[in-house]
Amino acid sequence: MFLLMLHDPATVPDSFTYPFALKACAQLAALDVGEQIHGLLLKAAVLSPDEGGDVVPLYNALIHMYIQCDRIDRALEVFDRSPARNVVSWNSMIDGFAKSEDMDSARELFEDMPERNMVSWNSMIGGYANNGRPDEALTLFLQSQELGLCPDEVTMVNVLAAISDLGLLDSGEEAHAYITRRGLSMRSGALGVSLVSMYSRCGSIEAAHRLFEGIPDKNVAHWTAMITGLAAHGIAEGALQLFAEMLRSGVKPNHVTFMAILSACSHGGLVEEGLKLLQLMATHGVDPRRQHLSCAVDLLARAGLVEESLALALAGAHPGEAEPAVWTSLLSASLRRGNSGVAEIAASRLMNLDPDQGASYVLLSNVYASLGRWDEFSRMRKTMARRGVEKVPGLSWIVVGGAVHEFAMGDKLHRRQKEIYATLSAMESHLRWVDPPALTWKCWGRLPEQ
């Protein structure tokens, strides 16, 4: 419609027309068209404040368009050249830097803002939470509270995400109590889903289920969050029961729901059920994606069907282009089963897809060593050194007495490491005598009855 308007000599776009056209470009990520409109604005001198009228909405529309088209550099140029700015201008740039994973630049702008609103704080808190800096997200949230600001639903969703990343159950319970006192609704989805996810990720699947049961008019996101939680806690059959209940309630599953339930089957070794679910996807109008292929490969691989898993990975919807998770799963399974041939194929694919991932090099070199193929072992290690690839150690943390303790895999530096390893050894010895299926059903049995 805008292009037709340009070809009509009787109509001339004005400062009210251009922002809508730029918004359409932003929604379509149509960078080329957006740049042409930017050129028209410059040619018509519409961006000049000397022409009269408020030009700030035009500059804001340009900033938003460039950010949505992943051109934060161009957005910053427009921001810097803007003759005047309002809080929307600043918030757009902060949000853009956050989406570009440049939280330091976002913080600089945040500190320089002449005035802030709750959107400004939400952009920063959400940016920290979504960019792996949950500690800073919570610190900034506490600062907003000290200033007497009133958080909204968006704020609390971001705060719950940060709490989930840190595994701070006590803080999660405090946030839940605050949400209840404020009367923020959990029916719309975002808050309820975040709370269910938080309790699950912080280790309290029972609390997650109690909360889930108390939410009226559950939507697909609520059901998916609970199924994901059960899958993560190894309660595969409970997840299947909940999925069946979801279908009976009339809620239609989406691709994320199928990801969650396939993951549950994979971790529970339920091969037959998982393959049936793959066929069920078409019934619900959900086209399999690469992530579903990854789950199916993992399902077969964990069950020891390594050759079948390889065939599926190679003959999937995107032959030879499966995502790294597919080959990582297949590599681990083939190593467990001692299938060096499949391990080599999986490792080779993984290294081509993600050459900076050190784990695949280490795992494959260990295979060569176990088979006495020392030439290949040496070649693999030299390749790692030449490419500067290092295996990043796994990290975990636990909250004890309100303090967060972080551990690296094989960590021997903690001041109480002797006690820690003695406890781990005792736990490992005890778990050898626990029947996993019985443990799974015992956990599920503690949840409230329907």
Q: Tens place of pLDDT for every residue, the chain, 450 residues?
A: 555 555 546 565 556 677 788 888 888 888 988 888 888 788 777 677 655 457 888 899 999 999 999 999 999 999 999 988 999 999 999 999 999 999 999 999 999 999 999 999 999 999 999 999 999 999 999 999 999 999 999 999 999 999 999 989 999 999 999 998 888 877 667 899 999 999 999 999 999 999 999 988 899 999 999 999 999 998 999 999 999 999 999 999 999 999 999 989 888 888 889 888 888 988 898 887 777 877 888 788 777 777 777 777 776 544 445 567 777 777 777 777 777 788 778 777 777 776 766 777 777 777 777 778 788 888 878 877 777 766 666 667 666 666 667 777 666 777 777 888 888 888 888 776 655 444 443 444 444 443
Among 112, 41, 127, CA closest to 61 = 41
Neighbours of 15 (CB within 10 A): 18
Among 245, 260, 252, 206, CA closest to 450 = 245
Instruction: Give the span between the Cα atoms of 206 and 443, in whole angstroms.
Output: 9
List of residues 6+ apart from 8 with CB closer than 8 A: none
The strand pair at 403-408 and 395-400 is best described as antiparallel
| Tokens matching residue 286 | 């959900």
Instruction: Give the span between the Cα atoms of 356 and 390, in whole angstroms.
Output: 8
pTM of the model: 0.76
Give yes or no for a contact between 346 and 330, defined as CB atoms under 8 angstroms apart.
yes
- How far from each other are the two terminal CA atoms of the chain, in whole angstroms? 54
Alpha helix (H) residue ranges in 82-168: 87-99, 103-112, 118-130, 134-146, 153-166
Dihedral Cα 306, 312, 314, 316, nearest 10 deg: -160
